[in-house]
Amino acid sequence: MKNKLNLVLLMLVCCSMAACAQGDVNLKAKALSETIIIGKSVKVRLTLEGIESDVFKGNDTKSLDGFFGDYQQNHDFRTFVREVPNELGTNVLGPYTIKMMGREFVSNTVIVEVIEQPEEIFKIEMPQEGRVGEEIKIKISGVSNASFNAVLKKTDIFKVNGSTINTTVVDGVASTTSEYSVVLKKRGVFEMKRSMFVNLPEQIKITPVTFEVK
- DSSP class of 57: -
Domains of the chain, by residue range, sit at 2-115, 120-213
* 184 vs 72: CA distance, rounded Å: 61
Q: What is the largest CA-CA distance in the chain?
A: 83
Q: Report the residue count for the chain.
A: 214
Q: How high is the pLDDT of residue 78?
A: 76
What pLDDT does residue 163 have?
93
Strands (E), the chain: 26-31, 35-37, 42-49, 71-73, 76-83, 89-93, 97-100, 103-106, 110-115, 120-125, 129-130, 135-144, 151-152, 158-170, 173-184, 188-192, 197-198, 204-206, 209-213
**What local confidence, expressed as pLDDT, does residue 23 receive?**
56
pTM for the predicted model, two decimal places: 0.56
Of residues 10 and 203, more confidence is placed in 203
pLDDT tens by residue, 146-200: 778 889 998 999 999 999 989 888 776 778 899 999 999 999 999 999 999 998 8
120-213: which CATH architecture?
Sandwich (2.60)
3-state SS, residue 7: helix
Looking at per-residue confidence, does 13 or 31 come out higher? 31
Assess whether the region 2-115 and the region 120-213 belong to the same CATH fold. Answer: yes
The string of DSSP codes covering 85-132 is --SSEEEEE---EEEETTEEEEPPPEEEEEEPPPPEEEEEE--SEE-T
CATH architecture of 2-115: Sandwich (2.60)
Of 11-20, 41-50, 138-147, 175-184, where does mean pLDDT reach its minimum? 11-20
Cis-peptide, bond into residue 127, ω within 30° of zero: no
Amino acid, res. 202: E
